[in-house]
Structure 1
Amino acid sequence: MSVGWLPVDNSTPEPKRPKVYPHLVLGFSEEDKIGTIQPHDDALVITLRIGGYDVKRVIVDGGSGAEIMYPDLYKGLKLRPEDLTSYSSPLLTFDRKMVMPKGQIRLPVQTGPEIVEANFIVVDIYSPYTATVARPWLHTLGAVASTLHQKVKFPSKVRVLEIRGCQVMARECLVVAISHWPEAESSAHVEESS
């Protein structure tokens, strides 16, 4: 289950310039499916090094316009309110709920030899994920993600590197998310589906 995030206002953060690697082609083939459970409809859930720590349960959501940090990561990094900069625009989830962020923090995200800075908007709502990385991170890294192939590919100097997703972790997060839904919402959803 992917939860997408969009900033409510139309302002854009400072421009990030993508890296240019003229001779590298980012693509996926049938060979990229080797090692995955097929067929599937799993989210792309990866482990990233954020703020100097290996962080599991990071969902890659190319449909979202903002990087999001959830309470587990906020607490795990031992962040305090004074570590955050102001972010006063509400966020709109894809299920049309408004969320007021606690603030924003810029942290390094390391993928192999590449380190890019990402602005994480901190929200205090439940999620089975620790963070969401979205279009800004993908574009800054020059990456392409494929849920089908369970990979993120990105250029690094003279070769293409990849981050593999973890389907087991993605499925565990889905089960946790479904079990966390309030009883009223899940029964209403079942009735609407009938």
Structure 2
Amino acid sequence: MARVGGFIVNRIMIDQGSGAKVKYPNLFRGLGLKSEDLLKYSTPLVGFDGKVVVPEGQISLPMNMGGKKVVVKFIVVASFSSYTAILGRPWIHAMGAVPSTLHVKVKFPTDHGIIVVRGSQRVTRQCLVAIVNWKKEQTYQKE
């Protein structure tokens, strides 16, 4: 959970293998943003389903997690995800963060010491199941 653009955002995935910071349309609309707010971004991305996704654009927004603030350039894509946003290596480096997928937590330094943000194993499992079920539905629809 973090504050993005002044709003509390849940179901954020921290992906050490991703070079992008992705925001999905539900979050984009939920923040009250419009297409006019986007800057051009035309480099294609590969989604969870292995398909190439052409981004709708990018936007820079302030993000606060655990009291530490950074400005994040999000790439907005129209693709299915049970997550509202994905934070990749650029965010990890900007925060000086150390994520642990095993422990479902991330640690990073602040002016007030080391902050530990814990994720939820249950929510992580629910998001994984949602993605697997969605992919199965897509496969059945093709047949």
| TM-score scaled by length of structure 2 | 0.91
CA distance in 2, matches of 1:184, 1:96: 12
Alpha-carbon distance in structure 2 between the residues aligned to 1:173 and 1:160: 28
CA distance in 1, matches of 2:107, 2:25: 28
Aligned AA for 2:104?
Answer: Q
Q: CA deviation at 1:49?
A: 1.1
- Give 1:87's aligned residue: 41
CA contact (8 A) 1:69 1:121 kept: yes
How far off is 1:113 after superposition?
2.2
Change (3 A) 1:115 1:83: same
CA distance in 1, matches of 2:18, 2:138: 27
Q: Give 1:159's aligned residue.
A: 113
- Aligned residue in 1 for 2:2: 48
Superposed CA deviations along residues 121-177 of structure 1, whole A, max 9, x for unmatched, are: 000011111000110001001001001111100011252111101111111112221
* Unaligned runs of at least 5 residues, structure 1: 1-46, 187-194
Is the contact between residue 44 and residue 52 of structure 2 (CA under 8 Å) also seen in structure 1?
yes
Aligned partner of 2:57 in structure 1 is: 103
Indicate whether 1:169 and 2:133 are aligned.
no
- The answer for the alignment partner of 1:69 in structure 2 is 23
Contact 1:71 1:126 in 2 (8 A): no
Cα offsets for 1:58-107 (capped at 9, x unmatched): 11101000000012101111210001001011112365421110000001
Question: What is the TM-score normalised by the length of structure 1?
Answer: 0.68
Alignment root-mean-square deviation, CA: 1.6
Distance 1:78 1:184 in 2: 30
Structure 1 ranges of 4+ moved more than 4 A: none
Cα offset, 1:116, TM superposition: 0.3
Verify: 1:122 aligned to 2:76, yes or no. Answer: yes
Aligned residues between the structures = 140
The structure whose RCO (Cα within 8 Å, separation 6+) is larger is 1
Q: Note closer, same or farther for the CA distance 1:85–1:149 as it changes in structure 2 (3 Å cut).
A: same
Aligned residue in 2 for 1:78: 32
Indicate the percent of aligned positions where both proteins have the same amino acid. 48
> For residue 113 of structure 1, what is the aligned residue in structure 2?
67
- Which segment is superposed worse, 165-174 or 132-141? 165-174
